[in-house]
Amino acid sequence: MRLDKFLKVSRLIKRRTVANEACDAGRVMINDKPAKASANVKEGDIIEIAFGNKSVKVEVLNVQETVKKEEAKELYKYL
């Protein structure tokens, strides 16, 4: 699954366009490498997102195309 879509589906970032812009600005890393919005996300990847002066680091547990709001937190775990 594309990185921008995963960020939206998992609700780490609310909108896909915002996820796309974050990737273009170099604020999203997969396994300590800067990632483009089109990068492929798979289980076990470590995603780090820089939000201003704080950073969020998560491990991908599951990849699904669609998910209910309550189940979105099951796609990743915070590190």
Predicted pLDDT of residue 48: 96
Distance, in Å, from the CA atom of 8 to the CA atom of 13, rounded to the nearest integer, reads: 5
Rounded to 5°, the CA angle 49-70-60 comes to 35
Q: What amino acid is encoded at 31 in this protein?
A: N
Distance, in Å, from the CA atom of 45 to the CA atom of 61, rounded to the nearest integer, reads: 8
Reported pTM: 0.92
pLDDT band for position 8 (50/70/90)? very high
Tens of pLDDT, residue by residue over 39-52, are: 999 999 999 999 88
Tens of pLDDT, residue by residue over 16-26, are: 999 999 999 99
CATH 3.10.290.10 fits 3-78, yes or no: yes
Measured distance between the N- and C-terminal CA atoms of the chain, rounded to whole angstroms: 21
Distance, in Å, from the CA atom of 69 to the CA atom of 57, rounded to the nearest integer, reads: 20
> In the predicted model, is pLDDT for residue 14 greater than 90?
yes
